[in-house]
Structure 1
Amino acid sequence: MTGDSAHPVADETPAAVGDEGNEKAGSDATRRGLLKAAAGATVAGAASTAGCLAVTTPADVAARNEVSGNVAHVVGPGWLADHREDVVVLDARDPDRFRRSRVYGARRAPVDALSAQDRTDGGLVPDVDAIATVLGDLGVAPDDDVVVYGASVGSRVTRVAFALAALGHAGDISVLNGGFGAWNGRVGTGSRDRVSSVDYEPDPAESAWVTREWIADRVGSFNEGGPGLVDVRVPEAYLGAPGSDALDPDHDRHGHLPGAINVHWVGNVAGRRMTDPARLVRLYEAEADLDRNAPVVVYGDENVDPTSTWLTLRAIGFEDVRLYDGGFGEWANAAGDRGRYPVETATSVVIETDGSVGGEDRGGDFSCTG
């Protein structure tokens, strides 16, 4: 049973955001002159506060999260309001939040099920059949245009987007900038709406991911004229820093894949919204020196967090971005000839990021100064 009510302020207010939205693009050009163009593709970073003495209205919050310019796969709440009847909306939050309040008509996407993996001779890959079954049960057809949202634009949301892409989804795939806290339209409550299941026939897009063996065949070539390789974990994990709490005790080895550079995925997010696109272009092209016209592979410990970087790079125009679905956990614990799966600590390139992920309930953030 669903209800229709005003957006609740107490439970789904926007978290404080970082300073990313206030950064100026500056005059520094990237090596291909793309920074200037990206500077025009901004996510609105400041809501109007005219007449506001004590509070920011829901309309202000929605305006702060609108998207303009040449940014792919990310839409604002105004766009969703205008197209709500034409898209399938998937909610990547936990069941309690979904039942409490959601975009009206949204269907809850179980992130764990949509992260399912299949073990092959080449290594772990997305389990496209299992993922297709989940989406079919949600009534998602292969040609539906889909918008995914969560509490922010964090990795749970982007994992759902990647799951769709891995199936070769024919419809458009987008995420909602600002998450549910930015939505000021019609909402629903209670248990999920009844939807008719469909038979989702996947057309796997195997170019969206790589395997352990694909990487092993290319060790020594990454970021040296070959594909780019980005480790999205915290720097301490990438460096294999002895004694660090960031090291997974279940891993046999620590460090990173040879040739990988480190760009922590949290740099993609400013509170609940996407980091300013001009800043992202500087981060990945000027600072990380990635080539938007060459393949780029991203990986983390597992297969959820790196999807944030996967989607971010696609959003700012990188043409060929792939996920190593097995992640460092598979690589570090590989059996057999470990000389084929070396781990590196001596050579390291860490690109500093300063993002922050919102999404938890935080009292006092819904204000003119928040």
Structure 2
Amino acid sequence: MGDDHSEDTSDDDAGADGDVTRRSLLAAAAGAGVASTAGCAGISTPADVASAASIRGNVAYFRGPDQLTAESAVFLDARSRERFRREHVYGARRVPVESVTARAERESGLVPDADAIASTLGSVGLTPDRDVVVYGSSVGARVSRVVFALEYLGHEGEITVLNGGYEAWNGRVGVGSRVPVETRYEASPNDDLIVTRDWIADRVGSFNADGPGLIDVRPPEAYLGARNAAKLVDSNARHGHLPGAVDVHWTGNVNGQQLAEPGTLAGLYFESAGVDMDGPTVVYGQGNVNPTNTWLVLRALQAEDVRLYDGGFGEWANVPETLRGRYPVETKTTTVVETTGSVGGDDDGGFSCTG
């Protein structure tokens, strides 16, 4: 029911980190293949790229490389194993995204499996008090799922997202991988960040009216349940969306490797989608990876109460037939907010384009 496909996550110790910088690597490449670019129009240096990723305005979480201040922060790499081994921020620790999507079954529905996720964070040597910088190829769903996992477990240190992704990094880099010293990650789960299937069922009929906001992050074709659309998930017994939900496809949050312009995002959610900055807003997708990107963006824009339906449409659509009256699916009443955006690298969630 999730929107993730498993990948090989074994990290054998195949080499030590190299003491080099991304700037020096790019300079070497330029010397080999672009001999005389000084003064040429359109040439960007690593410093230019890093500077362009700087965030302006009252935006939480996201920072460009030039804005990072915590020298002792632990860098968490959310990219694929292959990309990490090829090159990464010096000293970074890879967090396999599928390992922080684990869910546990409650009577009220699926919720994040705090014990399993805490075990993953401990396996990379992390403790709750450490400041962290999370990065990927972009600022897409892989990165935001790691951030959500940290926040859900009650992480105490500062959590920063590297805007621009790895391509914007111009500091020291490493290659290969090392096995970190494991720790015990003591989790303090924050259930105020999630809702369950039954929590939603109890409020059907009130969303985006007098009750909480409800955002569907999937492509419009999936939200509408368009017959024979390529975006539909074959394993779903029903198609459509949760009653009252507004559709805002999550990829509109991202412009290549960077966060989309914050003012544009504020207009998208607080004006076009009608999100209440002070009231509760629930986000959901097909599974529990892609919707965390919208969850993170809304929190970065200072929305006070943003929650994730971790079970997602995959859980809701596939309840037994006898329970469908309590968990209805809607197709007729629709509100689609048009978005534009593209996700660079492999940070599109790496799982499913359906949210």
Q: CA–CA distance in 1 between the matches of 2:346 and 2:128?
A: 32
Residue 117 of structure 1 and its aligned partner are, at CA, apart by: 0.6
Whether 1:112 and 2:107 are equivalent positions in the alignment is: no
Whether 1:77 and 2:65 are equivalent positions in the alignment is: yes
Whether 1:226 and 2:211 are equivalent positions in the alignment is: yes
Whether 1:293 and 2:278 are equivalent positions in the alignment is: yes
1:220-369, aligned counterparts within 5 Å?
Answer: 220-335=205-320, 336-359=322-345
Match of 2:195 in 1: 210
Q: Aligned with 2:21: secondary structure?
A: coil
Compute the TM-score of the two structures, normalised by the length of structure 2: 0.87
Match of 1:44 in 2: none
Q: CA–CA distance in 2 between the matches of 1:332 and 1:195?
A: 40
Compute the TM-score of the two structures, normalised by the length of structure 1: 0.84
Whether 1:175 and 2:190 are equivalent positions in the alignment is: no
Residue 2 of structure 1 and its aligned partner are, at CA, apart by: 1.3
Assess if the C-alpha contact under 8 Å between 1:119 and 1:125 holds in 2: yes
Match of 1:165 in 2: 151
Q: CA–CA distance in 2 between the matches of 1:331 and 1:201?
A: 31
Q: CA–CA distance in 2 between the matches of 1:236 and 1:200?
A: 40
Assess if the C-alpha contact under 8 Å between 2:214 and 2:283 holds in 1: yes
Letter of the 1:65 counterpart: A
Aligned pair partner of 1:200 in 185, 197, 203: 185
Q: CA–CA distance in 2 between the matches of 1:205 and 1:172?
A: 16
Letter of the 2:21 counterpart: A
Q: Aligned with 1:86: secondary structure?
A: coil
Q: CA–CA distance in 1 between the matches of 2:314 and 2:308?
A: 14
Aligned pair partner of 2:46 in 51, 55, 58: 58
Assess if the C-alpha contact under 8 Å between 1:89 and 1:106 holds in 2: yes
Indicate the RMSD between aligned Cα atoms, in angstroms: 1.8
Letter of the 2:252 counterpart: G
Letter of the 2:300 counterpart: A
- When residues 360 and 144 of structure 1 are mapped into structure 2, their CA distance, relative to the original with a 3 A threshold, is closer
Residue 95 of structure 1 and its aligned partner are, at CA, apart by: 1.0
Q: CA–CA distance in 2 between the matches of 1:186 and 1:169?
A: 26
Letter of the 2:104 counterpart: D
Aligned pair partner of 1:4 in 12, 19, 24: 19
Residue 68 of structure 1 and its aligned partner are, at CA, apart by: 2.5
Residue 200 of structure 1 and its aligned partner are, at CA, apart by: 1.0
Letter of the 2:302 counterpart: G
Residue 6 of structure 1 and its aligned partner are, at CA, apart by: 3.2
Letter of the 2:18 counterpart: G
Residue 282 of structure 1 and its aligned partner are, at CA, apart by: 0.4
Residue 309 of structure 1 and its aligned partner are, at CA, apart by: 0.1
* Greater alpha carbon shift after TM alignment, 126-135 vs 331-340: 331-340
Q: Gapped runs of 5+ residues in structure 1?
A: 13-49, 362-370
Letter of the 1:245 counterpart: A
Letter of the 2:132 counterpart: V
Residue 54 of structure 1 and its aligned partner are, at CA, apart by: 4.6
Residue 9 of structure 1 and its aligned partner are, at CA, apart by: 4.5
Assess if the C-alpha contact under 8 Å between 1:4 and 1:189 holds in 2: no
Query: For 1:173-203, what per-residue CA distance to the aligned partner results, in whole angstroms no more than 9, with x for missing partners?
Result: 12110000000111111113x4322111110
Assess if the C-alpha contact under 8 Å between 1:261 and 1:351 holds in 2: yes
Letter of the 1:223 counterpart: N
